[in-house]
């Protein structure tokens, strides 16, 4: 691994993995405790429509995807808040429509052929410097927002009705947090692909939730788990010349099953729950 | 003479075209201990959501301390139904109670004073030892105390509780009502309950909610209430003196 660090692409991959883990730890925790995994998947797939728009109309990639995903995310949020019982159907439709628009627009774009595989699994080993800066900026915004609004985030996730009665602007904050989810997903897709985004957003927080006595601890633990999965996955991918995104997902999945087995073997509340 | 704690005048509410409450009027006085009883689907929870300002009446008027429920929201401590809250959520007892201090001084962040206030309330309810426990490690009765602590942390004048005893055994219910009786010394209490035990020795008034509201200024249960208001089987634990036995309505399961 050490000799691999002499390559710039490897250092960039490690940086990208580090910041992706940080964003996923914080935002993924919000997604998992609010049961928004499906919405996250919807945003990630709808982002493909943004890629189509970006290439067809010749606007910068980040403008196309970010714009399209944010609009899709806000529409989905409005539906979740207005008609919770039908939200899953609606998200499913937007999910498919976004991908379809993306594929059709790419068909219609002359002379260009985006590789669907790189979109699905990303290319963490080919992260350009400019994307690293996007990730640094975004993780700063995410972490600062999460720290500043921690109590509000906790309150609206745990008991939104009570938070509303205390005068917390619940719906406004909900839009804000889901907006952050959309921005995070778009930036991270570029690096690790949409399948890995969903895996990184859900698996580490899911494992962390069982061992955490607070939302903050869950965020910290998920970030650490995500970093470990990234590091181990990258090393395996480098060592055995495998696709990095898929390797990281498999490592995360192994972590997931190991935690399930540990839960089964160890007594409940074994770690950290009681302090 | 200050305005009554709560005035409800000719309030009607319907949901998806279905009338839930019709022409409801009653007044609650300072330091009352009011029990809302009535069958499931009779509109008890709807009524307290109207009092909290979470729902708006189709017609009629609700006044809390002479103002609208939205403006009076900060004076009400609300204890929702246990089942309505995500039990597996990673949150500590202290963090739950600290929710009661949100926006207490208009700010998003909490101060040391807020933490102290939250710990004081936990201590009053003998739950301070559990402050760092995760909420789902507690028993039903302990969890209910934490929700009461959260409501008390808002420093309210009125406490509104939705079926606080639903998941408790008899001993737990007795303890919980003892706590409420203590709180009632300084605050008005309104409680939704299926539990007739409360009627025997604690409450000062009863409101039977079944589309209409029959309000009674004492804790007596009359034949009329049974006929018009409470069309459902009553689970009666006659705990106080005198014992009152209520018949189960015949055409209900």
d(CA B91, nearest CA chain A) in Å: 5
Work out the angle at residue A141's Cα, subtended by the Cα atoms of residues A135 and A142, and round it to the nearest 5 degrees: 85
Nearest to A201 by CA among A39, A13, A12: A39
Residue B41 has pLDDT above 70, yes or no: yes
DSSP 8-state secondary structure symbol assigned to residue B4: P
Nearest to B145 by CA among B185, B131, A160, A269: B131
Tokens of A8: 């710039």
Interatomic CA distance for residues A166 and B76, integer angstroms? 10
Confidence at residue B234, expressed as pLDDT on a 0 to 100 scale: 42
d(CA A33, nearest CA chain B) in Å: 7
Confidence at residue A8, expressed as pLDDT on a 0 to 100 scale: 80
CB contact under 8 A, A165 and B132: no
Interatomic CA distance for residues B135 and B137, integer angstroms? 5
Q: Which of A36, A160, A162, A169 to mutate to test the interface with B (most CBs of B within 10 A)?
A: A162
Identify the band that residue B49 occupies on the pLDDT scale cut at 50, 70 and 90. Answer: very high
CB contact under 8 A, B76 and A165: yes
Identify the band that residue A221 occupies on the pLDDT scale cut at 50, 70 and 90. Answer: very high
Q: What are the chain A neighbours of B150 within 8 Å (beta carbons)?
A: 162
The end-to-end CA distance of chain A, in Å, is 37
**A170 at B interface, C-beta within 8 A:** no
Confidence at residue B224, expressed as pLDDT on a 0 to 100 scale: 53
pLDDT digits (tens, 9 = 90+) for B216-242: 776 555 555 555 544 443 444 333 334
Q: DSSP letters of B67-86?
A: B-HHHHGGGEEEE--GGGS-
Rounded to an integer, the average pLDDT of B87-107 is 87
Q: Model-level pTM greater than 0.95?
A: no
Size of interface A-B (CB pairs under 8 A): 84
Q: How many CA atoms lie within 13 A of A158 on its CB side?
A: 30
pLDDT digits (tens, 9 = 90+) for A38-89: 999 999 999 889 988 988 888 887 888 889 999 999 999 999 888 878 888 9
Residue B28 has φ and ψ, to the nearest 5°, of: -115, 130
Tokens of A120: 């699905």
CB contact under 8 A, A167 and B86: no
Nearest to B227 by CA among B242, B247, B197: B247
Nearest to B94 by CA among B69, B58, B122: B122
Q: Which of B90, B101, B117 to mutate to test the interface with A (most CBs of A within 10 A)?
A: B90
Contacts of B67 (CB under 8 A, 6+ apart): none
Q: What are the chain A neighbours of B98 within 8 Å (beta carbons)?
A: 151
CB contact under 8 A, B132 and A275: yes
| Interface residues on B facing A, Cβ-Cβ cutoff 8 A | 52-54, 73-74, 76, 78, 80, 84-86, 88-92, 95-96, 98-100, 102-104, 108-110, 132-134, 137, 150, 154
Interatomic CA distance for residues A95 and A113, integer angstroms? 22
CB contact under 8 A, B86 and A155: no
């Amino acid at each position: 691994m050490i000799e691999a660090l002499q390559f710039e692409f490897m250092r960039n991959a490690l940086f990208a993995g580090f910041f992706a883990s940080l964003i996923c730890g914080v935002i993924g925790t919000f997604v998992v405790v609010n049961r928004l995994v499906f919405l996250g998947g919807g945003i990630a797939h709808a982002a493909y429509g943004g890629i189509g728009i970006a290439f067809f109309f010749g606007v910068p990639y980040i403008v196309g995807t970010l714009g399209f995903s944010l609009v899709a995310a806000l529409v989905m949020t409005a539906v979740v808040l207005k008609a919770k019982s039908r939200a899953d159907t609606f998200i499913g439709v937007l999910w498919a429509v976004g991908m379809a628009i993306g594929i059709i627009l790419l068909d219609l774009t002359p002379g260009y052929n985006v590789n669907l595989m790189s979109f699905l699994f990303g290319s963490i080993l080919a992260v350009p410097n400019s994307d690293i800066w996007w990730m640094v900026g975004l993780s700063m915004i995410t972490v600062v927002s999460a720290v500043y609004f921690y109590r509000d985030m906790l309150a609206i996730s745990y008991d939104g009705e009570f938070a509303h009665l205390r005068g917390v602007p619940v719906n406004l904050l909900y839009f804000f947090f889901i907006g952050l989810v959309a921005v995070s997903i778009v930036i991270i897709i570029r690096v690790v692909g949409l399948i890995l985004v969903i895996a990184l957003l859900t698996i580490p927080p899911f494992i962390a939730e069982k061992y955490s006595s607070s939302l903050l601890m869950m965020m910290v633990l998920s970030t650490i788990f995500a970093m470990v999965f990234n590091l181990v996955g990258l090393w395996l991918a480098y060592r055995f010349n495998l696709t990095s995104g898929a390797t990281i997902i498999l490592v995360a999945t192994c972590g997931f099953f190991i935690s399930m087995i540990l839960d089964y073997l160890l007594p409940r509340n074994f770690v950290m729950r009681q302090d | 003479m200050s305005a009554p704690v709560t005035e409800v005048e000719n309030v009607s509410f319907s949901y998806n075209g279905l009338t839930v409450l019709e022409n409801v009027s009653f007044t609650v006085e300072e330091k009352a201990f009011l029990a809302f009883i009535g069958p499931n689907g009779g509109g008890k929870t709807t009524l307290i959501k109207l009092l909290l300002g979470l729902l708006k009446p189709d017609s009629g008027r609700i006044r809390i301390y002479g103002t609208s429920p939205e403006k009076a929201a900060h004076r009400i401590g609300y204890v929702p139904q246990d089942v309505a809250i995500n039990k597996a959520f990673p949150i500590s007892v202290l963090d739950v109670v600290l929710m009661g201090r949100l926006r207490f001084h208009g700010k998003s962040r909490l101060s040391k004073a807020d933490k102290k206030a939250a710990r004081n309330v936990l201590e009053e309810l003998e739950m301070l030892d559990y402050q760092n426990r995760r909420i789902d490690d507690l028993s039903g009765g302990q969890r209910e105390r934490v929700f009461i602590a959260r409501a008390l942390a808002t420093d309210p004048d009125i406490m509104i509780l939705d079926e606080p005893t639903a998941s408790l055994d008899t001993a737990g219910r007795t303890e919980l009502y003892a706590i409420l009786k203590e709180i009632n010394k300084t605050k008005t209490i309104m409680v939704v309950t299926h539990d007739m035990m409360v009627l025997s020795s604690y409450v000062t008034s009863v409101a039977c909610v079944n589309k209409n509201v029959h309000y009674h200024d004492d804790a007596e249960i009359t034949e009329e209430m049974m006929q018009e208001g409470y069309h459902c089987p009553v689970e009666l634990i006659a705990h106080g003196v005198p014992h009152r036995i209520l018949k189960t309505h015949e055409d209900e399961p």
